[in-house]
Every structure is written in structure tokens, then in C-alpha cells.
């Protein structure tokens, strides 16, 4: 299998602003993204064998655990966009009269890599898993790429499987996986809205706040911290929850709205919408400081800031032209340029951490809200959704997926899709789920 290496364009001329080639479009990631865009990308083909108990006489529970781990790894890699996975082919086993595929058998199934593993328990509710990754390209002798042994609590089975998927992803692509990342969202319960967190595949939902109030717009400040807007103090204040320490503190409590913080890529600054001076304006704060800098000055509404991957620019929503549209400006508020012109209501921009794309919400003639993307020079708009109302787009840390809320099932739920609008996956159930945010790795 080949991935054709294509040069990444050095820069894009945008209304007098030169967005030079930078970290999110360089190196191997840039090559892969370029090959995807030009239609020559070939996914890495990997066979994920069913993991087995190390002891053939192990109880059925161990066998089920082993199978569950391999299923999760297979699902993760298939979801990633860069992999095409295969499970053991029952028909092949039957025709050739074998119980388990050898490495040479796998090679005949047109895969380039094979993952095998076994599981054992030590009597302390711990799982000990050994796995090996092989290269089995045609006409070459199977070669071991890596082999590892991991011990984890049985309660961390899914985290263990996600960790294996991340390791395999890294071994083959030399890129960081997203499988241990998490998604935060706002969920309506009987007394208000609380912040919940779940795995990237929707499993293991966990309630993160217990404020018995209205909590909205969660945003990850780091892998352990989430900011959100809460009415628990009788004002829409901005709070920061440190999940590792179990601490919660106010970040911003100016009179009026303190809304939807957007964190810089380095985690040291956040942009937030405040109404303390009258109409909604955007301010930038350094983490730990009480005084921020106001960077927009218009009589209209300026809101929904989002950072560029290099931390030098902000995209945001403004109605300064009469209706909400997406704009880009320097992080100090200078050099404001309008990005969207198509449609009368464009809002909620989200800047991809790896692609020169900005996702946003646009209201169509039918009054429905759909998610679109545009390049950072305002060209190549693409509609990604078309069923129900779709809002609140946020990117995965690898820039290949989006999480968003949608009413396509009748109630508001959280979904993910790839950057082209395909491979849609519903990750919440029960209704009342909105305002998603994807954690860093």
C-alpha cells in the first residue's frame, strides 16, 4: 500500500493576510491530508485477530474479555479514517480447515499489518494483556514491529483497549491517536443542565458537575480541566473544573454574560464573550489573571471566538454587517476580515487544529441549521449535514472528525462525523444533549 507524498502549499493569500505554512499543515500529517484531499489516499489495511486467553483452560469470562478488547481496538482503528480493518474471516477458516489464522494466512487477506494478543488474569481483578504488531506485506517475510505487555484493572478495560489502539495508530502512522480522548457535553436532567463526559465512542458516560443549575458550553482547557458557563451564582459566570483535583473555581464573574470560553492551543489564554460593557464583545484573558483585554469594539454582537492552531488568529461571529457572519482577526483584534458571505445567518465557528478548515453553523432557506466547512481564505464551502437541526461543531484533536449536536433522531443528541461529513456516529441517547466539546489527547 502506498500513500502518495504531495507537497503542501506554502501559504494561502487571504485578503492581504498571508497564512504561512505552519505546524497544522506540515510534515507527515500534511502529506496524509493532502493525499486525502486529492483522492489518492489509501487506508492502512490491518487485520486485528481475536484476542484469546493465554491459558486455554481459562474461564469463559476471560475469553469474553479478550474478545471485547479486540472488538474495541478494531472499532477504534476503523473509525480513525486512516485504517481499514479486518477480523478473522469465518469462511476462510472453514474452507481451509483451520481454527486460527497464521501470519501467512492474514497476508492472503490483503492486509499489510496484523495485530494479535492474549489475555490473562492474576486473581486480583487485574487484566494482563500481551500484544504484538506484525508487518505482513506481500512477498516479504512477516516481521515483528512491536510487542508489549500491559497490566490494568478490569474496570479500565475500555481505557486499556483505547490505549492499545492509540499505540498501534502511532506505530504505523507516526501520528498521535484520539482514542483516549473524551467528549464533554451539556445534559438536561430533572433539575437543570449538568456537564457530562464520555469516551470518544460514547461509552462510559460520567457526570462531571452537580450544581443543580444550568451549565452550558463546556470547553476543555486541558486534558483534566473544563470551563463552562453556569447560572449557579444567579449570574451566567464562567467556571473552571479541575477533575483531577476535584476543584471548581470562578474564572470570570462580571455582571452579565460570561460565555463560552475558547482556550488557546497552549492552554495559557482564553477568549470569552462578555456583556459587562453593554453589548456582547470578545475579551482575551491570561489564565490566572483577573483583567483581560477587550479586542472587539462594535455596536453589534461579537461572540463565539475560536483559535487558530498557531494561536495567532481568532475566528468569531459578528452581526456588524447586519446579520451574523464569520470573521477572522488577529489575536489583538486587528486586521478583521469577513470570511462568510453565503447565507444570512452563520455562527459558531470552530477552527480545525490540523487542517486549514473552519466549521460553522449556517441557517438555510428552510430555517434549518446545518454544519458547513470553509477554507481559511473563504473558498470551498461544503455542507456536511442535511437532516434535522445541527449545531455546536467542535473538532477532534487530530482534525479528522467533528462532534456536534443534532435533532436528526427527533431529540437533541451528540454525534460525530469525519471532516467530509461521512461516517456519522451517534454517541448519546435519551435526549437533551448539546454543546459538545472534544478533549485534547
Q: What pLDDT score was predicted for residue 2?
A: 29
Contact 255, 291 (CB under 8 A): no
- Grid cell locating 7: 507537497
Q: What pLDDT score was predicted for residue 23?
A: 40
Q: What pLDDT score was predicted for residue 189?
A: 86
> Buried b vs exposed e over 218-236: b needs ≥16 C-beta within 10 Å?
bbbbeeebbbbbbebeeeb
Report the length, in residues, of the chain: 441
Average pLDDT by consecutive 10-residue portion of the chain (441 residues)? 27 35 51 78 94 90 93 96 91 81 87 95 85 87 92 91 96 94 95 95 96 96 96 95 93 93 95 95 92 93 96 97 96 96 93 92 95 91 96 95 97 96 96 97 85
Q: What is the CATH number assigned to the segment(s) 45-173?
A: 3.40.50.10070
Contact 136, 116 (CB under 8 A): no
Q: What pLDDT score was predicted for residue 20?
A: 37
List, as one string, the DSSP characters of 192-250: EEEEEEEETTS-S-EE----SSBEEEEEESSSSEEEEEE-TTSS-EEEEEETTTTEEEE
Q: What pLDDT score was predicted for residue 95?
A: 80
DSSP 404: E
Q: What pLDDT score was predicted for residue 27?
A: 58
**Pairwise CA distance, residues 334 & 281, whole Å:** 14
Domain boundaries, the chain: 1-42, 45-173, 182-438
Which architecture characterizes domain 182-438 according to CATH? 6 Propeller (2.120)
Q: What pLDDT score was predicted for residue 301?
A: 95
Q: What pLDDT score was predicted for residue 26?
A: 46
Amino acid at each position: 500500500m502506498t500513500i502518495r507524498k504531495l507537497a503542501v502549499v506554502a501559504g494561502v493569500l487571504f485578503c492581504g493576510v498571508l497564512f504561512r505554512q505552519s505546524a497544522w499543515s506540515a510534515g507527515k500529517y500534511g502529506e496524509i491530508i493532502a493525499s486525502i484531499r486529492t483522492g489518492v489516499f489509501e487506508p492502512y489495511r490491518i487485520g486485528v485477530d481475536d484476542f484469546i486467553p493465554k491459558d486455554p483452560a481459562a474461564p469463559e469470562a476471560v475469553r469474553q474479555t479478550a474478545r471485547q478488547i479486540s472488538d474495541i481496538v478494531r472499532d477504534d482503528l476503523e473509525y480513525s479514517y486512516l485504517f481499514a480493518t479486518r477480523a478473522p474471516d469465518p469462511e476462510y477458516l472453514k474452507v481451509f480447515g483451520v481454527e486460527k489464522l497464521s501470519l501467512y494466512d492474514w497476508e492472503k487477506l490483503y492486509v499489510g499489518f496484523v495485530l494479535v494478543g492474549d489475555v490473562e488474569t492474576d486473581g486480583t481483578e487485574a487484566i494482563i494483556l500481551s500484544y504484538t504488531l506484525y508487518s505482513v506485506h506481500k512477498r516479504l517475510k512477516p516481521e515483528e514491529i512491536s510487542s508489549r505487555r500491559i497490566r490494568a484493572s478490569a474496570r479500565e478495560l475500555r481505557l486499556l483497549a483505547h490505549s492499545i489502539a492509540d499505540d498501534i495508530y502511532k506505530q504505523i502512522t507516526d501520528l498521535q491517536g484520539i482514542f483516549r480522548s473524551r467528549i464533554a457535553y451539556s445534559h438536561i436532567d430533572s433539575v437543570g443542565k449538568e456537564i457530562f463526559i464520555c469516551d470518544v465512542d460514547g461509552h462510559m458516560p460520567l457526570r462531571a458537575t452537580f450544581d443543580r443549575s444550568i451549565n452550558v458550553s463546556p470547553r476543555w482547557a486541558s486534558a483534566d480541566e473544563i470551563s463552562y458557563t453556569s447560572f449557579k451564582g444567579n449570574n451566567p459566570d464562567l467556571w473552571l473544573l479541575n477533575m483531577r483535583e476535584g476543584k471548581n473555581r470562578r474564572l470570570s464573574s462580571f455582571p452579565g454574560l460570561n460565555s463560552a470560553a475558547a482556550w488557546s492551543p497552549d492552554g495559557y489564554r482564553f477568549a470569552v464573550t462578555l456583556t459587562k460593557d453593554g453589548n456582547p464583545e470578545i475579551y482575551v484573558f491570561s489564565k490566572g489573571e483577573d483583567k483581560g483585554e477587550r479586542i472587539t469594539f462594535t455596536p453589534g454582537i461579537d461572540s463565539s471566538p475560536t483559535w487558530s492552531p498557531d494561536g495567532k488568529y481568532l475566528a468569531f461571529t459578528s452581526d456588524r454587517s447586519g446579520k451574523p457572519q464569520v470573521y477572522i482577526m488577529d489575536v489583538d483584534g486587528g486586521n478583521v476580515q469577513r470570511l462568510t458571505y453565503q447565507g444570512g445567518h452563520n455562527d459558531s465557528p470552530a477552527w480545525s487544529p490540523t487542517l486549514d478548515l473552519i466549521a460553522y453553523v449556517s441557517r438555510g432557506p428552510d430555517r434549518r441549521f446545518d454544519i458547513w466547512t470553509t477554507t481559511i481564505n473563504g473558498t470551498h464551502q461544503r455542507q456536511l449535514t442535511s437532516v434535522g437541526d445541527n449545531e455546536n461543531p467542535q473538532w477532534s484533536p487530530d482534525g479528522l472528525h467533528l462532534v456536534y449536536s443534532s435533532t436528526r433522531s427527533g431529540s437533541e443528541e451528540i454525534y460525530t462525523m469525519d471532516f467530509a461529513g461521512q461516517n456519522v456516529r451517534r454517541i448519546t441517547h435519551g435526549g437533551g444533549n448539546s454543546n459538545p466539546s472534544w478533549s485534547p489527547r
